[in-house]
Amino acid sequence: MKKPSARMRELAAYLLFGVLTSLVSMISLQGLEWLLKPRWGDHTYLLSKWVSFVLALLFAFWVNKAFVFKTAWRPLRAVVREAVSFSAMRVVSFVLVEYVLLVVTFELIWPKAEPFFAPWWLGLGPPLSKIEPIDAYRFVTQWGVIGVLVTVLNYIFSKFFVFKKKKAGEAAQ
CA distance 137 to 141: 6
- Whether residue 64 has pLDDT greater than 90: yes
End-to-end CA distance of the chain: 40
101 neighbors 146 (Cβ within 8 angstroms): yes
**For residue 1, is it within any domain?**
no
Band the pLDDT of 173: cuts 50, 70, 90: very low
What number is the average pLDDT over the span 136-160? 87
Number of structural domains found in the chain:
1
pLDDT of 69 reads 93
CB atoms within 10 A of CB 2: 4
What number is the average pLDDT over the span 138-167? 85
**For residue 10, is it within any domain?**
yes
**For residue 171, is it within any domain?**
no
Q: What is the pLDDT of residues 12-62, one digit of tens each?
A: 999 999 989 989 988 998 899 889 888 877 778 778 888 998 999 999 999
What number is the average pLDDT over the span 144-155? 87
- Kindly tell me the number of DSSP H helices and DSSP E strands found in the chain: 7, 0
- Whether residue 151 has pLDDT greater than 80: yes
158 neighbors 86 (Cβ within 8 angstroms): yes
pLDDT of 169 reads 55
Domain extent at residue 93: 6-162
**For residue 167, is it within any domain?**
no
**For residue 170, is it within any domain?**
no
The residue type found at 145 is: V
**For residue 172, is it within any domain?**
no
**For residue 18, is it within any domain?**
yes
